[in-house]
Amino acid sequence: MKKKVYNPYLPSYEYIPDGEPHAFGDRIYIYGSHDRFNGGDFCLNDYVCYSAPVTDLSDWQYEGVIFRKEQDIRNQNIPADAKHFKPSLPGVKITDPDEQLNAPGLHAMWAPDVVKGLDGRYYLYYCMDFLPEIGVAVCDTPAGSYEFLGLVKHADGTPLGTKEGDLIQFDPGIFIDDDDTIYLYSGNAPIREGVGKGPQGSTVMTLEEDMLTLKTEPKLLLPDVRNSKGTGYEGHEFFEASSIRKINGRYYFVYSSVQSHELCYAISDRPDEGYTFGGTIVDIGDVFLNGRTEKDSVACFGNTHGGIECADGKWYVFYHRQTNRTNYSRQGCAEQIHFDENGQIPQVEITSCGLNGGPLPANDAYPANICCHLNANGKTTYSNPMAMGMRYPYLTQDAKDVVPSEPGFPAEAQADAQFPVQYVTNFRNKNTIGFKYFDCKNVTGITLNVRGKASGQILVSTTPEGGLKKDKDSIIDSFDLKFQSDDWTVVSGNVSVPDGVQALYLTYYGLTGRFDIAQIGFICK
């Protein structure tokens, strides 16, 4: 029997954004960058990998660290006065370059991609923060210990990104076509006109069989804000995060648009040209879905990045969301997607159930962090402490960042007390938390595991607007909420939830107090 799985699909202490899913053999592997909880910048941890059987996406297993940032030659013996030195990184001290060199691993590794090469080995492509080149590592297995191979280079041996006229390399995507042609995609672009420094753009190139040497030079691929007029990409131009798949003979290019909080796609009959805009696949605030605008985002927004993959005949989009009021503690989520008769991908909504294959049974307790709707008085903002302040609820954890040490670590071990658990904090008057979807049968009550202070009422509704507008058609029930405790406490209310698949939204009304929510549970007949 398959276990229940929900968003985020990895343990709540894991912060793996930029997830690139790849099915190798009978398992699907997630390759992403690796944020640090409460970190001061993007991607501060080493690359790790999780995998699951393609037939059971509830059974995620920790594969361990696959590549350490100090393995890259550019991350060793860095002079403290180097131009690319980043003194803002936590714990880094500027020293006299004549007396001491900085410790290895100063540069963070950004979004990677992996491909099985023509020789049967696995090749990992990545960029390091603001450095101009693309690094490559290689391994005999999909999730083993990768070894640094080299930098992608021009035919004359000059590293790509360093020659005059080279564009900035960024978020590489790697793809080998059926004819064994090796395509490398790279680049970022201005998020709006007049913003951005240096030569930028979406590019594609091909590689020799050594997986390092350019066979053909980079050429521009997708339009960006500087040249998109009349292309159909307007408002959704390429920003970053190149990811490519071949599906039914056509090429699907997935990318993060200038909106930043959405993943879009483009389609072509060729891998290296002729792409037309397809649409939005997913947005982390459900923006654009059914006409929703950014001001009505269902959750705090920031960037997202990911890809699509097939597992056991079904296609999924993997993306990431924001937590902890920053852009630096991002978590992977996923949703099933579908293709219409024309090969288009309709936008999917973000849900709590994600990879579960259907609604979650309303007969158990669930972590509150599986919420897919979290805002204040129907509004939210950019995931940043300056923007959010303490005006909005958000996701966080009590303990410091952790990384499991042993491969084979099962995802369900997040319930072990030695690992931190993520929860909702700063829940206040007219805040709403929402979950999609639960399969409700004979539900007579709802329980909440809470701490803090509350004195008010919870309205339970089936629409996000129901609790705020007190819409009689969508309000299911209500219950009083009154407690004061610094310890986690289970409270309950009598709520008669109609049978069937339901979205559930809880809106709090209370003039004083704020509290944390760790779990939501159900009482059934």
> Catalytic: 240?
yes
User: Which amino acid is present at 507?
Assistant: T
Rounded-to-integer distance, Cα 160 and Cα 133, Å: 6
Q: Residue 125 is which amino acid? A: Y
CA atoms of 329 and 55, how far apart (whole Å): 29
Which residues make beta-bridge pairs with 425?
Answer: 394
CA distance 395 to 379: 16
Compute the distance between CA of residue 519 and CA of residue 511 in angstroms, rounded to an integer.
23
**Residue keyed to tokens 């240096």:** 198
Q: Residue 213 gets which letter from DSSP?
A: B
Nearest to 321 by CA among 262, 264, 389, 280: 262
CA distances from 99 to 77, 140, 197 (A): 12, 40, 33
* 465 a catalytic residue: no
Q: Which helix (H) or strand (E) holds 388?
A: helix 385-388
Catalytic residue among 18, 63, 171, 262: 18
By the 8 A CB rule, do 281 and 317 touch?
Answer: yes
User: Catalytic one among 46, 63, 240, 516?
Assistant: 240
- End-to-end CA separation in angstroms for the chain: 24
Q: CB of 321 within 8 A of CB of 306? A: no
135-169: burial string, b at 16+ Cβ within 10 Å, e else: bbbbbeebbeebebbbbbbbeeeebbbeeeebbbb
Spatial contact of 132 and 166, defined as CB atoms under 8 Å apart: yes
Residues annotated as catalytic (active site), given as ranges: 18, 240
